[in-house]
């Protein structure tokens, strides 16, 4: 394919999306600067636009949707198909988020932080509306559309921390139950929206020549966009161990050591940035509990156990002991809905189409990873609340310290950059770690389970589904 001139903002996205952890050398300021180099064409967003887009036929997003265009480098037709698929999904998703925000009490939406998020969604929708009645037909169109995707990703980089502070300030005007219900839905929808946009960005960069980008596709042959088909969990554990361990040692002067058991060479297909965030949160909690319980000489054991091969028909009719609704590849539409505007397919038709083009049909189903520490366990009175957004229980002094960006020594291990561009310490003390980690795990059919032995330690079981062997 012919090389096309690309704006700076989309050139820099690939490094963060696709490069190995050790190769991320381009500073975030590069694409932050790019957002001001060129004004995107926008259209005015009206209430009628939002209502119309939110009423479009809905289609559940599946992992198959992310890999169905094949392995990069994509042909011109495949790349345009990826752009049009992305365009068919995102406007309706953004409209749903705007409506959800507007359904909050007016005094809550009036909070400057929450109002800013509402404005960000309207801005992103305004950059997509000029494409509403057209398709991406040429490579030149695709480059402009990719610039729109890069702007969307950058605009919503700090959504979680901004929302957290907004709800913390407005906690007197909305119940903790309503906040949790809203955030559970909103954060899961945000994961999907960001994943769709970043997937096309990654496919674009791995399919089009970019001499300025410090990345070669040949170095990562297992990637399909942001999905690593040869993801080795042990490597992610080692990386997170180094990051969390260094911070722990700086704060406490000591650090526990991590022992990896099971099958450390096991690989499967998943989204590495999701796994990196989850493991960072779990290790952060384990390190902190172990050191503060005086057991820093005791190892933190991480056991990697591949899930056994299971025929699809064996999954039918299985019910979980967990009364809370589970998310899997076929029922995901209840929490993460997308629109198929261009194709007009029904869910059944989409499944049949995906089955013919899945490039990962023989991938193993997934993995369970156990994290075991001797940190004294979780107090019985605390255990029922570990999945709550803990800002709902903050007193005024704690809230003011958090809003001012000051964290105590107890929050030292929270000073870690969050997922999707959240800045360092932006989520510190807001209690979003475990709930958000669970959202990432459950997004494609996994989950997190906690077993605490009070006075001794804690076992955390992280289960993840692979991209292949999808439930159709």
Domain range summary for the chain, segments of one domain joined by +: 8-221, 227-309+364-465
Is domain 8-221 annotated with CATH 1.20.140.20?
yes
Q: What is the pLDDT of residues 14-30, one digit of tens each?
A: 444 444 444 343 333 33
What CA–CA distance (Å, rounded) separates 414 from 12?
27
Q: What is the pLDDT of residues 295-314, one digit of tens each?
A: 999 999 999 999 886 544 44
73 Cβ partners below 8 Å, 6+ apart?
A: 206, 207, 208, 217
Q: What is the pLDDT of residues 47-79, one digit of tens each?
A: 999 999 988 866 677 777 888 888 889 999 999
Q: What is the pLDDT of residue 342?
A: 40
Q: What is the pLDDT of residue 337?
A: 39
Q: What is the pLDDT of residue 420?
A: 55
Is domain 227-309+364-465 annotated with CATH 3.30.160.250?
no
Residues of the chain with pLDDT under 50: 1-37, 211-217, 311-359, 361-362, 391-394, 407-417, 423-428, 469-472
């Amino acid at each position: 394919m012919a090389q096309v001139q690309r704006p700076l903002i989309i050139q820099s996205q690939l490094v963060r999306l696709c490069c190995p952890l050790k190769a991320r050398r381009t500073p975030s300021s590069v694409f932050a600067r790019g957002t001001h180099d060129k004004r995107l064409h926008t259209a005015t967003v009206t209430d009628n636009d939002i209502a119309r887009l939110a009423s479009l036929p809905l289609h559940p997003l599946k992992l198959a949707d992310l890999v169905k265009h094949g392995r990069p480098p994509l042909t011109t037709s495949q790349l345009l198909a990826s752009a049009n698929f992305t365009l068919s999904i995102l406007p309706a998703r953004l409209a749903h988020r705007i409506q959800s925000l507007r359904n909050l009490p007016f005094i809550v939406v009036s909070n400057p932080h929450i109002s800013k998020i509402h404005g960000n969604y309207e801005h992103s929708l305004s950059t997509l509306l000029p494409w509403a009645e057209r398709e991406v037909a040429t490579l030149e169109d695709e480059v402009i559309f990719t610039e729109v995707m890069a702007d969307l990703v950058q605009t919503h980089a700090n959504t979680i921390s901004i929302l957290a502070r907004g709800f913390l300030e407005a906690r007197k005007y909305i119940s903790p139950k309503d906040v949790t219900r809203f955030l559970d839905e909103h954060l899961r929808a945000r994961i999907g929206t960001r994943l769709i946009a970043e997937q096309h960005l990654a496919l674009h960069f791995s399919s089009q020549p970019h001499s300025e980008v410090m990345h070669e596709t040949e170095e990562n042959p297992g990637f399909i966009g942001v999905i690593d088909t040869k993801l080795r969990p042990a490597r992610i554990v080692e990386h997170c161990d180094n990051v969390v361990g260094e911070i722990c040692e700086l704060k406490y002067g000591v650090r526990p050591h991590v022992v990896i058991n099971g099958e450390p060479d096991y690989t499967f297909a998943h989204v590495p940035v999701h796994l990196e965030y989850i493991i960072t949160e779990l290790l952060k909690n384990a390190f902190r509990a172990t050191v503060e319980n005086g057991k820093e000489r005791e190892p933190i054991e991480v056991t990697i156990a591949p899930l056994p091969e299971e025929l699809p028909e064996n999954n039918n009719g299985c019910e979980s002991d967990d009364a809370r609704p589970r998310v899997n590849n076929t029922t995901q539409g209840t929490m993460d809905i997308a629109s198929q505007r261009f194709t007009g397919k029904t869910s059944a038709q989409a499944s049949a189409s995906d089955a013919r083009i899945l490039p990962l049909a023989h991938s193993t189903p997934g993995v369970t990873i156990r994290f075991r520490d001797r940190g004294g366990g979780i107090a019985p009175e605390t255990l029922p609340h570990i999945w709550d957004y803990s800002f709902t229980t903050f007193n005024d002094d704690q809230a003011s310290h958090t809003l001012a960006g000051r964290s105590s020594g107890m929050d030292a291990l929270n000073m870690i950059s969050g997922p999707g561009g959240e800045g360092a310490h932006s989520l510190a003390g807001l209690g979003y770690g475990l709930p958000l980690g669970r959202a990432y795990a459950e997004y494609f059919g996994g989950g997190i389970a906690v077993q605490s032995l009070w006075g001794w330690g804690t076992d955390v079981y992280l289960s993840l589904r692979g991209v292949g062997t999808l439930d159709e």
